[in-house]
Structure 1
């Protein structure tokens, strides 16, 4: 991603020049503190909130200091500079950092979501929707180079649509303002995350007609990652963290939609519970929540296929270079 790569390059240089040491474990009253940051607050990350709300981290002897740092570039910078220990962000971030020549690369160690989380929303009902009908329309997309946009373009190309030539593609709207731009009249179609897609549908201002997650296939869309040095020095903590995440994944897999919604609703105080339930149901039915934290070769290949198709991948990276599955495999046993 050109814009993100530039930002990460600056962050990396700053981190090097500052001579920042890798973070070590912090003990507090018999527990180990882990500083965790997510890239955005999203129902898409339901298993993470389940791990927090159901006490799975505490069961593993961890105290999690949790925050949201909006933007993949910003959360990666926080991780590189040692402000946080673990980040929940797209796996592509590790590839961008690696391609900057990082001496202490970011390593993916546990997968949380395994599909794209966006949906195609139309302004009007579209009976018997066919992807070819998008040709010639005004399409309000996501930010260039971001994984949502790359997954969206990957899907469109699979359907025989050239996003740059066959659509009037709008990509100059900030992420947070995309739903409002659509409801105010911009675009015939829009690519949206939940719960915005469901909210717009409930308000009668749009219609969810397709899932980019279903169409783009499985990939390590959102993962937990740390600096390689942190993982090496704190392997026991990383294992406990991964154990807690897998407990949450199994809990989500086995529980009903209302139970999951009840467990995470406190993280979405301004969202109607019916909307939370609808979003959880949609993501659960399409298999967006990973059922174990392991990142496999096929998923890693698909991630790089998506990046390559978008022109955002300089060179392919072997899974073993940026993925450490040992913690996930042990947790899964």
Structure 2
């Protein structure tokens, strides 16, 4: 009897957990695969890690690398050293890395050097901005990985333009929608806005964490001024990322936001956070994933960035790139428009994990046939 193929799933940061969860459940239900959860510990906060595992019904990780914070080089190096030891002691048949954090590139490099067939879930996204550490991680991972699972046609086109052979690429869709559908009943039942005193459609959600926005004191001050003005138009709730909280506190800007009426709350686990998003009138963010979720839900998303690696959320979705000086005017314009009726992008349908499983199964069978 053939043993089930062991599949290492790498999770490092909050968005990784959400992308890994539907795939873990699909693999766990399949008799021919055994999922092995590897938590690198790159981002470790009880609200942003442990609680999300519970929300997504994930088990405790099979391996926890505990690498912690540090510079990009320190994190990448620690992950490589720790994961190499795990992969050599518990060698998988497949390695799946997700997203674009340091752990993604680090584990892909380890896996491919050890000759482990490596898959990149959410491949092909490009911002064209090499000042973003995530862009460098995406480029490196896509060059290294044996199989590239893409979320959208623009990602396919990016890989083709970079000379990636089509046989390595399969468009599977957007796994974030699977995570949302997996937890939709809990999200609907959570009603976190009511607990905060908000009514559906009567508030906006803010998330900020990118270094280009929060590490530059002058830019952060401009953002706070814009949020004060936006608060006068729409009550805002701001789940504050730990790094952002530290920057705001150092500059005394947290008290300024609170005085203006912005509701500052701790980072929320996935279910509670999505309960906030689903009932919001608009979202103000510099995140990547929330651009996708708001597109799926038809909620206006004001993205405070120079560029986005998810252009389909602009061409087919509800995201708009906005500069800090235009934030209030764009918010007013977005609130005046009827809720978007744009169609969801192709394969953003909650069935991406099933397509991943089918592709992995076909490639496993193909490799066995070739070996025979």
Normalising TM by the smaller chain, what interval?
Answer: 0.3 to 0.5
For CA contacts below 8 A with separation 6 or more, give which structure has more relative contact order. Answer: 1
> Quick check: which has more Rg, 1 or 2?
2
- What TM-score does the superposition give when structure 2 sets the normalisation length? 0.30
- What TM-score does the superposition give when structure 1 sets the normalisation length? 0.33
